[in-house]
Structure 1
Amino acid sequence: MFASICRRRLPFRIHQIPGGGTNPLHSISGTIPPAHNSYSSSAVDDVPNSEPCPDIVSYLISCGLSPAAAIGTATTHHRVRIRSTDKADAVRDLLRHYGFSDAHIARTVRSAPILLAVDPERILRPKLDFFVSLGFEPRKFASAPFVLGRSLDKHLVPCIQFLRDIIGSDDDLCTALARSTRTLMVDLDKYMRPAVEALRRAGLAEAAISKLLVIQLGVLALSPDRISKAFEDLKEIGMCIEDSRFLYCLGAMCVAKRETWMRKLALYRSFGLSEGEVLNAFKTQPTILFLAEESIKMKVRFFLEELKLGIHGVMAQPVILAYSLEKCILPRCAVLSVLMREGKIQRDIKLLPALLGTSKRFSTRYVLRHADDVPDVLKAYEGLLSHF
């Protein structure tokens, strides 16, 4: 069984930016933008057609994007034209100074190439310094670089003060921001304040609201009606506010579209599970709602067809579905296979309990304990053994 499993391992035109003193990003909307957002700015030329500028493509490639990604970005953001490579280089240097790796810069530039056209010292550095003062790592903005286009004094500082008053500590605030950085694009008065008031009206205590925002800050991007509906849906499936799992389920239910919920419910039931079993699994591990459908199918097939586990047993421990197949489950299976071969563990070991747990727990129990007398166990855990 395990043998078959492991075999599957599995030239630039430089222009000067005219003077002016306005933030070229001031026109970015206060709500969370779509994945591909078009920016308007006095610092960029308005290119009337969608043909990507060769100079832009060339510079984006120098930022670490692949040729295909550079063309795609230049085409999607066709209004953007870099007028000064010196300024663009200064932006990249500043980002590196604040901890951005080359990969972070490539991701940032791909999402928001407009940042290459801004004044790094006047526009970017004050914002980066502000977040550093909170203990937040600026490189995490690579996942939502358009946040850096919001006004520091008019938007970011008021939002952070509002969040700090509710969440409490800067450590928890930074944790919340790291999990949902793009929420900082949300308008304070139109979204954040009404969302918090909706949570209060629904019966959440202040401490619970604080914890919820650390778990899922994205709740603040929702309308009060959407939040109220999430409370109603949880009540319908038997979840009460007093349940220790409630906030985690609420965070998941709030940010998942209803169509997503119904589609995932149908998918899990297609494996032969009852609705009750799926709901119990969701209450235990709400993140099963966010797993990609193909990932779910692949893991379930693996557990059922390769490990010969029962679907009911798997769903009784739904956290296993959140584990990466390639990075976690397969290496652990390889380790167990080696130990079975060497007679260090019984072949009838209960696989699911053995596969569960933190990396530290698994490593201590099955890898480090046998590393001296079974050297292959380390190779297996590191994915260096393709078959046995």
Structure 2
Amino acid sequence: MLANVCRRRLTIPLSPILAAAAAAASGKNPIHSNHARALLSQSYYSSAVQAAPDREPCPTTVSYLVSCGVSPAVAAARKVRIRDTDRADAVRALLRKYGFSEADITRTVRLDPLLLTFDPDRTIRPKLDFFVSLGIQPRLLATEPHILARSLEKHIIPCIEFFRTILRTDDNIRIAVSRVPRALMTDIESTMRPAVEAFLSHGLSMEAIAKLLMIHMGMIKTPPERIREAFHDLKALGLRVTDTGFLYGFRVICSLRRETMVRKVAVFKSFGVSESDLFRAFKTQPTILLVGDETIKKKFRFFLDVMKLEIADVMAQPLTLALSLEKNIMPRVFSERYVLRHAKDVPDVVKAFEGKIKFQGFGESEVRTSVPLND
């Protein structure tokens, strides 16, 4: 059934999907795609600030960017000219004042060096203050610094007002935007509003839309046609809009591209997972398809080779595939195998494992020397 959904969604026959999945499972890569990344438009930058024309990199600019931690290659590729290093220093100092770490500043400069040419007090500070007023840590914008180049009055504030009509409270806005700051780069009329109208037309209530945006604010960027396809696919999988897992499934379906879906199906099949087991696991825990390929392989090897579990038993508990192997699964296995099983006989072992007994060091009788000491 999951493959049938892929077939409808990807508009390619079922057999090529399964063939591609099998080929990928054997180590081949049958899919080659060239998705050109659209360059960020400069239209939202201040008209008084212009990127340098296509010319040889300015040595002074490259040197300054490198001093900020940007690699020479990236610095040379940026078509920007920093004419006032004092202003650039002031911009970096302002970011530090608002909680940006040096790593945050480096990331900000690497992604959008044109910000270094802005007036820090007149152009950047008001935006940082606005985010602080919402309870949003400005340093989170380091993941999408282009936001600081957008107009506060014409774009940022209207976006927040639009979100407020859906999320209702500033606390919800703070949580949602902090998780996905790039959502603030979305245009209201061409993208946000059509997405919300599409959600409503397919049966989601405003409360459900709010929950979906809390799960992942990036869903506000989903084109109406993609929304229609996702609803169709989830309905085919037996998920209704009122089901608990529907919104999570929607987020996953919208996040996966064609080649990604084929590749992930191949990874599961390479470990002997049947399509029906994968379908049931997806309905229970949709996020298993968002786990990285190598991470999935590592977990399967641990479950099958170390814990000696059957693949059907693993797929019957799909939450384990979404948990961290190092932080959750392995510590739990260790505690069950080597600590909790001895709780009755040696209760102090459990207390020590839980940190309730402080380590006092080794006694003199426990210290052994492997080499005799010379006089």
Q: TM-score range by the shorter chain?
A: 0.7 to 0.9
CA distance in 2, matches of 1:53, 1:323: 48
Q: Does structure 1 conserve the Cα–Cα contact (< 8 Å) formed by 2:352 and 2:358?
A: no
Correspondence for 2:256: 256
Correspondence for 2:174: 174
1:93 Cα offset (Å): 1.1
Correspondence for 2:284: 284
1:215 Cα offset (Å): 0.9
The residue correspondences of 1:141-220 to structure 2 (distance < 5 A) are 141-220=141-220
Report SS of the residue matched to 2:242.
Answer: coil
Distance change >3 Å, CA 36–CA 331, structure 1 → 2: farther
Correspondence for 1:91: 91
Deviates more, 1:225-234 or 1:299-308: 299-308
Distance change >3 Å, CA 130–CA 304, structure 1 → 2: same
Q: Deviations over 1:106-163 (max 9, x none)?
A: 1211211111111111111111111111111111101111111111111111111011
Correspondence for 1:55: 60
1:272 Cα offset (Å): 0.9
TM-score, with structure 2 as normaliser: 0.76
Q: Does structure 2 conserve the Cα–Cα contact (< 8 Å) formed by 1:39 and 1:114?
A: no
Q: Deviations over 1:49-80 (max 9, x none)?
A: 4x654433432333234xxxx22321332x11
Q: Deviations over 1:241-260 (max 9, x none)?
A: 11111111112222322432
1:317 Cα offset (Å): 2.3
CA distance in 1, matches of 2:219, 2:352: 40
Q: Does structure 1 residue 368 correspond to structure 2 residue 369? A: no
The residue correspondences of 1:281-320 to structure 2 (distance < 5 A) are 281-320=281-320
Q: CA RMSD in A?
A: 3.0
CA distance in 1, matches of 2:76, 2:336: 49
1:45 Cα offset (Å): 5.4
CA distance in 2, matches of 1:60, 1:338: 52
Distance change >3 Å, CA 59–CA 308, structure 1 → 2: farther
Correspondence for 2:136: 136
Report SS of the residue matched to 1:80.
Answer: coil
Deviates more, 1:302-311 or 1:232-241: 302-311
CA distance in 2, matches of 1:291, 1:330: 17
CA distance in 2, matches of 1:345, 1:52: 71
TM-score, with structure 1 as normaliser: 0.74
Report SS of the residue matched to 1:46.
Answer: coil
Q: Deviations over 1:154-206 (max 9, x none)?
A: 11111110111111111111111122111111110000000000000000111
1:337 Cα offset (Å): 6.5
CA distance in 1, matches of 2:283, 2:324: 21
CA distance in 1, matches of 2:146, 2:208: 30
Distance change >3 Å, CA 325–CA 345, structure 1 → 2: farther
> What fraction of aligned residue pairs are identical, expressed as a percent?
48
CA distance in 1, matches of 2:121, 2:291: 40
1:373 Cα offset (Å): 7.4
Report SS of the residue matched to 1:99.
Answer: coil
Q: Does structure 2 conserve the Cα–Cα contact (< 8 Å) formed by 1:176 and 1:213?
A: yes
**Match 1:46 to one of 52, 56, 68:** 52
CA distance in 2, matches of 1:75, 1:332: 49
Q: Between Structure 1 and Structure 2, how many residues are aligned?
A: 320
Q: Does structure 2 conserve the Cα–Cα contact (< 8 Å) formed by 1:132 and 1:138?
A: yes
Runs (5+) with no aligned partner, structure 1 = 1-32, 347-363, 377-388
Runs (5+) with no aligned partner, structure 2 = 1-35, 363-375
Q: Does structure 2 conserve the Cα–Cα contact (< 8 Å) formed by 1:52 and 1:71?
A: no
Correspondence for 2:21: none
Report SS of the residue matched to 2:354.
Answer: helix
Report SS of the residue matched to 2:109.
Answer: helix
CA distance in 1, matches of 2:42, 2:344: 60
Deviates more, 1:121-130 or 1:185-194: 121-130
Report SS of the residue matched to 1:208.
Answer: helix
CA distance in 2, matches of 1:98, 1:372: 39
Q: Deviations over 1:246-302 (max 9, x none)?
A: 111112222322432232123212211111211222222222222221222122222
Distance change >3 Å, CA 308–CA 95, structure 1 → 2: same
1:321 Cα offset (Å): 2.4
Q: Deviations over 1:343-385 (max 9, x none)?
A: 4489xxxxxxxxxxxxxxxxx9983166447989xxxxxxxxx
Correspondence for 1:120: 120
Q: Does structure 1 conserve the Cα–Cα contact (< 8 Å) formed by 2:51 and 2:114?
A: no
Give the greater-gyration-radius structure (CA): 2
Deviates more, 1:114-123 or 1:299-308: 299-308
